[in-house]
Amino acid sequence: MRISAWMAVALGAFACVGAASAQQPGMGCTAQQSPGRPQVLRCGGGLTIVAEDGARFTLLDRDRNGQVDGVDLQSKAVFVEAPKKKTGQQFEVITPQAIAAVRGTKWAVDAEGSKTSVFVDSGRVGVRRPSAPGRVVLGPGEGVDVDDSATPLEVKRWPAPRVAALMARLRR
């Protein structure tokens, strides 16, 4: 299952497309990439983003301060370790189906076709659709699948095999 969040527009953002693409320098991030392994981005303020091999995403700097404050995820999965900030806006992972926002936690977002899945390893993550009312808050071990339907979002405790399969893709 995959996890993701919705679209955003950001000036100064840069993209990483596919496993073979090198991350451009900027926004205080350094990249580590080995063939067939997830790309690891270490950014300012202790932020770490692990992108599944072949993931398509764009790093966002919505407040234009030179620091990453979001990810626009188009496909595959990312795992985010976002430390708590004293002030400022929440870190968001944005996909066509969902927006997952947090102030400090570890979580995964997977965008696959017309569905986004969000799973929380530690901390709490708020998830909502970009164009519909309603929001759920996930705690450790919980996940939600978000599609384009109008059905209410349903928080579920994810079974160990589902968590293990997602984390294996991210080498976590």
CATH code of 81's domain: 2.60.120.1440
Domain ranges, residue 164: 14-169
Residues of the chain below pLDDT 50: 1-25
Tally of CA atoms within 13 A in the half-sphere of 169 that contains its CB? 21
Predicted confidence at residue 88, as pLDDT, reads: 64
Number of folded domains that form the chain: 1
pLDDT of 26:
60
CA–CA dist 33, 162 (Å, integer)? 25
Residue 145 in any domain: the answer is: yes
Q: Does some domain include residue 73?
A: yes
Q: Are 28 and 44 in contact (CB under 8 A)?
A: yes
The answer to the question of residue 81 being in a domain is yes
Overall residue count recorded for the chain in this entry: 172
Q: Is residue 8 part of a domain?
A: no
Could you tell me if residue 108 is inside a domain? yes
Query: Is 1 contained in some domain?
Result: no
Q: Is 64 a domain residue? A: yes
> Do the domain assignments include residue 4?
no
Per-residue model confidence (pLDDT) at position 25: 42
